[in-house]
Structure 1
Amino acid sequence: MNGAWEILHGTLKHADFQRFQDYLATSTGLAVITVDYKGMPLTRHSGCHDFCRMLRDSPDYGDRCEKCDSFGGVEAARSKEAFLYLCHANIVDVAVPIIINELYLGAVMAGQVRLENDAESYAVEPVYKMTDLNRVFSQSKVMQEAYKRLPVMTYEKVVATAKIIETICQYMVKSPGEQLMKELTVINEMAASDKPLPASPTEDLIKPALAYIEQHYDKKCTVNALAHRCNISESYFSRLFCKQMGKSVPQYVCHVRVNKAKVLLLNSRSTIGEIAGACGFEDASYFIKVFKRETGVTPAVFRLTMWPSAEEA
């Protein structure tokens, strides 16, 4: 697969993508960079603003910037269109996916601006847990002043610019060249075989949350706490969790608890109330309701049906 990224990089160079980035940054005031599927730079940053440059160079926050680039790019790849979001520093960015033959290779990232109005009013959501900017500013007045110098744009202008980038990207990768097509053919053949392909950067993203739920199903599992364990924002975590698990967090937690309750019902003589408490349900009646919704029968009926001798023993 590494060959594909190298060929993509070569294709961008051949297409003089760097000059396009520089022109775009100068004309719009947006900072622009092209990254691979991991969020690693493929081109030089065009028009990077002072605040973001300092943040990216910081040992404390630089990795967060790369992860925001990665998460934003993959979210754009999922929707196959430009994705507008807030980075960890409450700055607006947009990711435009580079997709060839249904294969996500990277994204053009543009932004480093603040919206003229509140981002929440436009449903612009963060993709990573937010950095405490007050703490950053208290440590560095220079960074605080640099933040104030970030350009302020309207939501409509950011969206319009994203559409321009999207159109140009589609044109530039429409005919990627014989070498890239050959490489992609090999990759597609691998995908059709049993050979594993590199995982998406978000496939393992919710694993810390799943592991925590599995080990602490009897404890309170809030979306906020689980998102914090995965180092992403609450809204992005919820959306990603639903996509990958097919259930909301509360639904999934109940599902796990019911499965644990099944084991206790068949392998212990504990009462329904005791099992409810052991599995994290504060109320036995609610446990019975959830159990029936998940299985179609009450816990008592399940125990008798699956273990007929339980009542006789």
Structure 2
Amino acid sequence: MKTSYMNLNKILDLKKWNNLQDSLAIVTKLAIITVDYKGVPITHHSGIRPFCKTMRGDPNMAKLCEKCDARGGLEAVRTNTPYIYLCHWNIVDIAVPIIVDDKYVGAIMAGEVRIADSEEQQLLEQMLTVPTKGLAQVYNKEEIKRLYDSIPTLSYSEIKEAAQMLYSLCNYIVEEAMNKNLILEVYEKMTPLKENSSMDDFSTGYSLDNIQHIKRELANTVTNAYVKTTLNDHLVCKNTTLQPAFDYIFKNKGEKFSQQKIADLCHISTGYFSRLFVKETGMSFSTFISLKKIEWSKQLLEKTDLPIAQISDELGFNEPGYYIKTFKRYENVTPSVYRKYYQEKL
């Protein structure tokens, strides 16, 4: 692999990644920034909290923040897993390493949230201990205290799920980029470039071929981060022939399921699959899928601020109008009314 590939600019389309990073910050409720292997930011800071922005704007406080970032990043590289820790202000941060060919090339730094349960907070390592007196001089200022109190809180499980989502997404993008780079290298060696063609043409074509696949993977990652499946979702089928079907359905919630494809996974005909499925679930395949997608969408309506159209898209409905119609058929209200009713109960 070429050494230039170690540059994160070769892995990430920074313009698109910045936009995606902004969306991820909204969905996960985390502030996010991407840095290279030296710790130098290569993106803007998505969702940065006013408190942290103020601290990083102070030369003395900024040094403490940078030390925490550096140590957290080293731990993530050492374990090659997302590392969740506390900064000197007891604010939760996450370091997600970007590894290529066993080499550390950068990291996604996320966090700037507080943990809701004080007992769960004790599970995390504090990267840097600072004398209380030094922090108190800053915190006792009324405006700083207000900014600190405005930092959102999440449960430890929510933080872990968000960290794993970022890690899975990062690994997927790196893998795709490596495959693309390898193809380009082979192409360069095996095929002389024609006078009217360029590597950019080849690269662009390859990216377009994969864009829908990337979109589906991202939809599944975001959805799975918020949708809690019940015990019934992972039950062991009475007829083990159908198990691959259920495993696939619950792993790929955002897909537009074809009965033919699902039957093929079970290595049986669609007719036989249909009979077995009704016997197993008591309903047709299409009804089962519709009910499950509505159930999953209710959780997204309750736990996120995602627009109705985006929820429809992420769960694989043909278009928002069809999703709204299906939702109303089963729930007797529209998705927006359901969300409003749920929020009023809180």
The TM-score range, normalised by the shorter chain, is: 0.5 to 0.7
Counterpart contact for 2:56–2:65, Cα < 8 Å: yes
CA distance in 2, matches of 1:67, 1:4: 28
Counterpart contact for 2:6–2:100, Cα < 8 Å: no
Deviations 1:183-222 (A, max 9, x none): xxxxxxxxxxxxxxxxxxxxxxxxxxxxxxxxxxxxxxxx
Give the secondary structure class of the aligned counterpart of 2:126. coil
CA distance in 1, matches of 2:92, 2:130: 13
1:114 aligns with 2:106: no
* 1:135 matched residue in structure 2: 137
1:171 aligns with 2:156: no
1:52 aligns with 2:55: no
Question: Residue 80 of structure 2 aligns to which amino acid in structure 1?
Answer: K
Considering only aligned residues, what root-mean-square deviation do their CA atoms show, in Å? Answer: 2.5
For residue 98 of structure 1, report the CA deviation from its aligned partner: 0.3
Counterpart contact for 1:7–1:180, Cα < 8 Å: no
Map of 1:187-266 to 2, 5 A cutoff? Answer: none
* 1:63 matched residue in structure 2: 63
* 2:222 matched residue in structure 1: none
For residue 17 of structure 1, report the CA deviation from its aligned partner: 1.5
For residue 6 of structure 1, report the CA deviation from its aligned partner: 7.7
Give the secondary structure class of the aligned counterpart of 1:112. strand
| Larger RCO, structures 1/2 (Cα 8 Å, 6+ apart) | 1
For residue 53 of structure 1, report the CA deviation from its aligned partner: 0.3
1:32 aligns with 2:32: yes
Map of 1:10-25 to 2, 5 A cutoff? Answer: 10-14=10-14, 16-25=16-25
Question: Residue 162 of structure 2 aligns to which amino acid in structure 1?
Answer: T
Question: Residue 175 of structure 2 aligns to which amino acid in structure 1?
Answer: K
For residue 157 of structure 1, report the CA deviation from its aligned partner: 0.2
Greater Rg by CA: 1
Question: Residue 128 of structure 2 aligns to which amino acid in structure 1?
Answer: Y
Give the secondary structure class of the aligned counterpart of 1:176. helix
For residue 179 of structure 1, report the CA deviation from its aligned partner: 9.7
Question: Residue 57 of structure 1 aligns to which amino acid in structure 2?
Answer: G
Counterpart contact for 2:6–2:105, Cα < 8 Å: no
For residue 180 of structure 1, report the CA deviation from its aligned partner: 6.9
Counterpart contact for 2:14–2:43, Cα < 8 Å: no
Percent of aligned pairs with the same amino acid: 37
Structure 2, unaligned stretches of length 5 or more?
A: 184-346
For residue 13 of structure 1, report the CA deviation from its aligned partner: 2.6
CA distance in 1, matches of 2:44, 2:163: 19
CA distance in 1, matches of 2:76, 2:117: 23
* 2:159 matched residue in structure 1: 158
CA distance in 2, matches of 1:20, 1:32: 11
Question: Residue 37 of structure 1 aligns to which amino acid in structure 2?
Answer: Y
Deviations 1:77-102 (A, max 9, x none): 11111100001221001111000000
For residue 28 of structure 1, report the CA deviation from its aligned partner: 2.1
Structure 1, unaligned stretches of length 5 or more?
A: 183-313
Q: 1:9 to 1:117 in 2, by over 3 A?
A: same
Give the secondary structure class of the aligned counterpart of 2:27. helix
- After TM superposition, the score normalised by the length of structure 1 is 0.53
CA distance in 2, matches of 1:110, 1:173: 18
For residue 177 of structure 1, report the CA deviation from its aligned partner: 4.7
For residue 10 of structure 1, report the CA deviation from its aligned partner: 4.4
For residue 40 of structure 1, report the CA deviation from its aligned partner: 2.2
Give the secondary structure class of the aligned counterpart of 2:136. helix
Counterpart contact for 1:5–1:36, Cα < 8 Å: no
* 1:42 matched residue in structure 2: 42
CA distance in 1, matches of 2:177, 2:131: 39
Give the secondary structure class of the aligned counterpart of 1:90. coil
CA distance in 2, matches of 1:84, 1:16: 26
Q: 1:36 to 1:14 in 2, by over 3 A?
A: closer
Counterpart contact for 1:40–1:66, Cα < 8 Å: no
Q: 1:175 to 1:150 in 2, by over 3 A?
A: same
Question: Residue 92 of structure 1 aligns to which amino acid in structure 2?
Answer: V
Q: 1:64 to 1:13 in 2, by over 3 A?
A: farther
CA distance in 2, matches of 1:166, 1:6: 18
CA distance in 1, matches of 2:110, 2:28: 10
Deviations 1:139-196 (A, max 9, x none): x3211110000001100000000010000000111133589779xxxxxxxxxxxxxx
* Count of aligned residue pairs for this structure pair: 179
Map of 1:68-107 to 2, 5 A cutoff? Answer: 68-107=68-107
Give the secondary structure class of the aligned counterpart of 1:60. helix
CA distance in 1, matches of 2:161, 2:89: 23
Deviations 1:84-125 (A, max 9, x none): 000122100111100000001111111101100116655201
* 1:124 matched residue in structure 2: 124
